[in-house]
Amino acid sequence: QVQLVESGGGLVQAGGSLRLSCVASGRTFSSYVMGWFRQAPGKEREFVAAITSGGGDSTYYIDSVKGRFTISRDNAKNTVYLQMNSLKSEETAVYYCAAKGSSDQGYNYWGQGTQVTVSS
């Protein structure tokens, strides 16, 4: 079982930056693929970014955040980060951290979410 706890959300002006953190419980964090998702009011949850496991640390992003967001992980701290720059008002959402055991599985562990509000 993996428990995920996000932090770092808040209120920021458009064009500003935030760094989200997600701390995972358990000893096998390094083996999990980690992802960030977001859900805006009235919309479905959408994929934002992911980072693979096993030391390769390949990263994947939704097109709209490429060049502005960076996902990274620190296996020694059981933590995955999402650095968000040049934020836009339409990116106001609850951001969720998620984990899965392998790339061909669905995400089966989720955090409680952290609110990000971008004011225009």
Residue 104's pLDDT is 87
The confidence score (pLDDT) of residue 54 equals 76
Q: What is the pLDDT of residues 35-79, one digit of tens each?
A: 999 999 999 999 999 999 877 789 999 999 999 999 999 999 999
* Alpha-carbon separation of residue 85 from 4, 51, 57 (angstroms): 23, 18, 21
Choose the weakest-confidence range: 1-10, 47-56, 60-69, 92-101: 47-56
Give Rg (Cα) of the chain.
Answer: 13
